[in-house]
Structure 1
């Protein structure tokens, strides 16, 4: 009895102790459940994201393969382009690597690895300086240029720093995998292309390719060689920058920030079976280098499984390579013949189930290495990972969409592995890094290679040991009007991660009094007084944690209402039509507006038009002839430093316009100033160079800025009457981008001490041939890159694209330019929604029933549709019963609208 009583007492005490444990103590040895982690989407639908860097203040810089450098700003949830490199992006090249300098907070230096456009086939490592969050292109310090065979394959390109300030750069073997039966490419025959023998790169001590470099950048843009690299400085026929050698495609690397150990994922060859006369099947590897070394390729793989030396002339296998003494006798080798002993992989796995690491599964593979987490390197925050992950290495696979954590012993040797967040979906993770708050940032490429994927994005994974605060979201159906002004508010999007949304309580302060005026989720409130109000939503969970969201409502001045009447289609033009139009404007306070007070402009934009919405309350009227320049200033990031009417980091556009509008050389001066950068005119701030932009774009930007002078707003050259006839006669027959733009704007006089309100309406008339990739919304699709254009891949049944606000008057047919791409399926055309009214449907289309006479990649399918009146959101929905996969997926190039 005593023994039983002691057991019961001990069990009760253990239960009490367990319940009294702090969360900090609980998750030291106990693995947290997946629900403790929250994956937060920061920005999605990126165009081939590659690498990221989290800054000390939580901002995130990331790159896209075609040359864009972007910055996510947590303060406003926005993303802006901070630089662009003109890169060669065919094959596996492009803008591949990014790292911030260890002293970034003081020097604003970043490092980029990219393939510059030009006749010389090289990849380049350069340092750039950020000036006011924009890359100063003139600041480039070229550190290394590495020859690279363009078009194929294995570029590597990952950049990381260690805690001592050394920069590591990974380089692929620059060798095709398609000429060696998916085994080791060691074709030494004369007259063969240079990229069929990896012994000239990975096995060559005098070549940087197929290795991971370690250098120490200097302030002047040069670098020195740290102690301990693979070949000491001065060793004949070697490059001292090499830290590890014998790599095939080390696509993602990381460095332990305490002990300096290097980790990387090695993307292996494709052979699916061992060959008695060629060597082992393909394996991907995760490697660890505690010191400099040679890691085997193209002579060994995995845990030093040897390949045979294969004579491609005689088609004979001569001998197996010796991991203890690999020798490079290739005539393409310019380095030493006797290589260091080969180091085995840390982790390795084939396409099939792995005998050594069965938990890694089977299937496609693309190994990558993430960071080692140290709990004590981050301050105490509510979102940092727990001590359970202290000292663990995060590895991930781009193809298998998993993340594993690797536990190591006291010698940093492999102990065990376990899946991280198996219940969370990851879509081709391509880079990851712990931020300054101890949360994990993950960059996801998305499903399809060489595509702008809908499921790509930048995400943040936060841990919560206890209760997480809720998330408040608020919106209003309108925010400007005359008193009495009734507003419908919404709390849609507010949520709680722990207890569910149903337990949240809501409090609305409509007038900024500090008092709760409504506890409804979606209340209606009528403002009786005039003024500018800051309605605030407060959301509270059941443990008292709160979050707030603030809006702005202006009461006292009703916005003007603009009406445009046309007798024909308001989305497209066919041939050279003549259109009748009439514009009217009414305003509650100003009454019916005389026609001569309405600003109406008519323009033709040869290169097309990207719609840019006017800021609420914007006080300047904008001639449509300069809207192209406006778009370009937005795209180039100029608005990050300049306001239209108010100075920001730099002067306002209006101030610049007034200063130079009467100077005959003013335009040329501003073009040169924007191209070259500089400062001193408006203060000490330096404007970065924009020499990467085409001169014509910069000239359009200057035209836009000069147009904003208050002295030029009253009578632009392209102003037309408020009623009349429009001639669409400026486009060439094959000018697919040409756009006609009718812009109507009116700024009222203001009322009740509320500032004047500008309203603008536009009719954009386009060529009826539209790129599918230019649709307004995509669901379940990818924008696949092919040559110099994009097409849409439909990646699942019921995936679709949407063109918003299409005027279907006069439209009786649609023509799809398609490539079944070895799949079959059919399309529905609906209006108003994915389940909206059906106005057209194709039969099942496939390779078998495409027109036999067509030799091109695309074939046209003409579809009759039911004519409708007015503007509609147009849904083009793909259906299939045979499925799609990562390689084969139905493609659409263009959509054409026809009147007959």
Structure 2
């Protein structure tokens, strides 16, 4: 499928005052997960099976070589992508993936120099400990903040949920490191005996959405609940977000996980979905193409099969508006294009890279 705009002929009015259209940039992608737009306008797309593609405006695609060994099973594989804030001068590409090893697998983060269709100078800068069995709940999003610190989100690996409340491991945590993996001296648990020094916050279940709130510079995330209880959270250094001692969800069987939706010393979520929409991917829209959406929080939904626009008043969510729900697509990742359009990756065996544009915008 050519990458140049293939119009699907969809005109959907999400609000009375505007219309938008969807353009297909690529299809035939195998469960695409990570997405970044290069300064050149080309796109990098990672497929969960462990393939990294470079897509050009003329419709061509090239496989990028040089990835490390990874486990592609269940929710694991090649996960998120991120560019170094100074990518134009250093060519550092960051990626998270499920790394095999003793005990099973775990989320790892590496960086490498992107040179045309090759990765070189590979450095593994973070390894989740411990590795565990199973193929679920790897996280994983990579976000640089305005100071150049890298946030890494993880999952608690599903069968190890109680470890999310302990500081001697990386499961169910958000980690904060320098761009080369070194631990910042002001991380909250760096002086805590037996705690992993990379930990920024804990008590998380499975975080697949993260973004920096533009006005405040603070990290916001969303995470999967079990049967109900998906959450949006504003992240504070050293804070405990409760899982599994606090949740609005239930076991998939219907059983009770916790009697508590609030406990002293644990952070309450900013927003909760019951039933679950299975959120994945998020961004604060700042572009000019959709002025009515500026400063909204956009969230993809897998089980919910839609794009969700959350309206904000400062750091409060004031409303929820479904978009693209008539398409029935699982939205894995979203990113704001340099021109203000919105890229969307669909999670399916014949996955697509889509672009949301206003009607009349080429």
Give the structure-2-normalised TM-score. 0.85
Contact 2:229 / 2:273 at 8 angstroms: preserved in 1? Answer: yes
Offset at residue 255 of structure 1 (A): 2.2
Match of 1:505 in 2: none
**What secondary structure does 1:106 align onto?**
helix
Q: Which residue of 341, 346, 350 corresponds with 1:444?
A: 346
Match of 1:150 in 2: 133
Contact 2:246 / 2:263 at 8 angstroms: preserved in 1? Answer: no
- Compute the RMSD of aligned alpha carbons: 2.7
Contact 1:49 / 1:62 at 8 angstroms: preserved in 2? Answer: yes
Contact 2:305 / 2:325 at 8 angstroms: preserved in 1? Answer: no
Q: Which runs of 5+ in 1 are unaligned?
A: 1-29, 177-194, 271-281, 308-316, 326-340, 352-363, 376-383, 447-452, 470-900
Offset at residue 70 of structure 1 (A): 0.9
Contact 1:43 / 1:79 at 8 angstroms: preserved in 2? Answer: no
Contact 1:31 / 1:388 at 8 angstroms: preserved in 2? Answer: no
Aligned residues: 341
**Distance across 1 between alignment mates of 2:250 and 2:345:** 35
**What secondary structure does 2:99 align onto?**
coil
Deviation >6 Å, runs of 4+: none
Contact 1:263 / 1:286 at 8 angstroms: preserved in 2? Answer: yes
Offset at residue 216 of structure 1 (A): 1.9
Indicate the structure (1 or 2) with the bigger Cα radius of gyration: 1
Please show how residues 396-475 of structure 1 align to structure 2 within 5 Å.
396-410=300-314, 412-422=315-325, 425=327, 427-446=329-348, 453-454=349-350, 456-464=351-359, 467-468=360-361
Match of 2:272 in 1: 348
Asked whether 1:40 is paired with 2:23, we answer yes
**What secondary structure does 1:98 align onto?**
strand
Contact 2:286 / 2:294 at 8 angstroms: preserved in 1? Answer: yes
Decide which moves more: 365-374 or 388-397.
365-374
Q: Which residue of 166, 178, 183 corresponds with 1:224?
A: 183
**Distance across 2 between alignment mates of 1:222 and 1:118:** 20
Please show how residues 255-270 of structure 1 align to structure 2 within 5 Å.
255-270=212-227
Contact 1:170 / 1:250 at 8 angstroms: preserved in 2? Answer: yes
Contact 1:286 / 1:367 at 8 angstroms: preserved in 2? Answer: no
Asked whether 1:203 is paired with 2:165, we answer yes
**Distance across 1 between alignment mates of 2:178 and 2:17:** 39
Contact 1:263 / 1:369 at 8 angstroms: preserved in 2? Answer: no
**What secondary structure does 1:157 align onto?**
coil
Offset at residue 118 of structure 1 (A): 5.1
Contact 2:300 / 2:334 at 8 angstroms: preserved in 1? Answer: no
Contact 2:309 / 2:320 at 8 angstroms: preserved in 1? Answer: yes
Contact 1:252 / 1:370 at 8 angstroms: preserved in 2? Answer: yes
**Distance across 2 between alignment mates of 1:245 and 1:32:** 42
Contact 1:261 / 1:291 at 8 angstroms: preserved in 2? Answer: no
Call closer, same or farther: CA 1:168–1:426 in 2, change over 3 Å.
farther
Call closer, same or farther: CA 1:468–1:52 in 2, change over 3 Å.
closer
Call closer, same or farther: CA 1:42–1:321 in 2, change over 3 Å.
closer
Offset at residue 437 of structure 1 (A): 1.1
Offset at residue 82 of structure 1 (A): 1.1
Offset at residue 91 of structure 1 (A): 3.0
**What secondary structure does 2:165 align onto?**
coil
Match of 2:280 in 1: 368
Offset at residue 232 of structure 1 (A): 3.9
**Distance across 1 between alignment mates of 2:167 and 2:90:** 34
**Distance across 2 between alignment mates of 1:80 and 1:428:** 25
Match of 1:130 in 2: 114
More helix by share: 1
Call closer, same or farther: CA 1:241–1:45 in 2, change over 3 Å.
same
Offset at residue 349 of structure 1 (A): 2.0
**Distance across 2 between alignment mates of 1:162 and 1:211:** 17
Q: Which runs of 5+ in 2 are unaligned?
A: 1-14, 252-256
**Distance across 2 between alignment mates of 1:119 and 1:207:** 15
Call closer, same or farther: CA 1:61–1:105 in 2, change over 3 Å.
same
Please show how residues 298-313 of structure 1 align to structure 2 within 5 Å.
298-302=244-248
Give the structure-1-normalised TM-score. 0.36
Call closer, same or farther: CA 1:368–1:245 in 2, change over 3 Å.
same
Contact 2:62 / 2:117 at 8 angstroms: preserved in 1? Answer: no
* Cα deviation code 1:437-488 (max 9, x no counterpart): 1111111112xxxxxx23x111111224xx446xxxxxxxxxxxxxxxxxxx
Offset at residue 168 of structure 1 (A): 1.2
**Distance across 2 between alignment mates of 1:342 and 1:306:** 19
Please show how residues 546-561 of structure 1 align to structure 2 within 5 Å.
none
Greater RCO, CA 8 A, separation 6+: 2
**Distance across 2 between alignment mates of 1:203 and 1:118:** 24
Please show how residues 569-584 of structure 1 align to structure 2 within 5 Å.
none
Offset at residue 396 of structure 1 (A): 2.3
Contact 2:111 / 2:125 at 8 angstroms: preserved in 1? Answer: yes
More strand by share: 2
Please show how residues 600-611 of structure 1 align to structure 2 within 5 Å.
none
Offset at residue 31 of structure 1 (A): 5.7
Match of 1:49 in 2: 32
**What secondary structure does 1:115 align onto?**
strand
Contact 2:296 / 2:309 at 8 angstroms: preserved in 1? Answer: yes
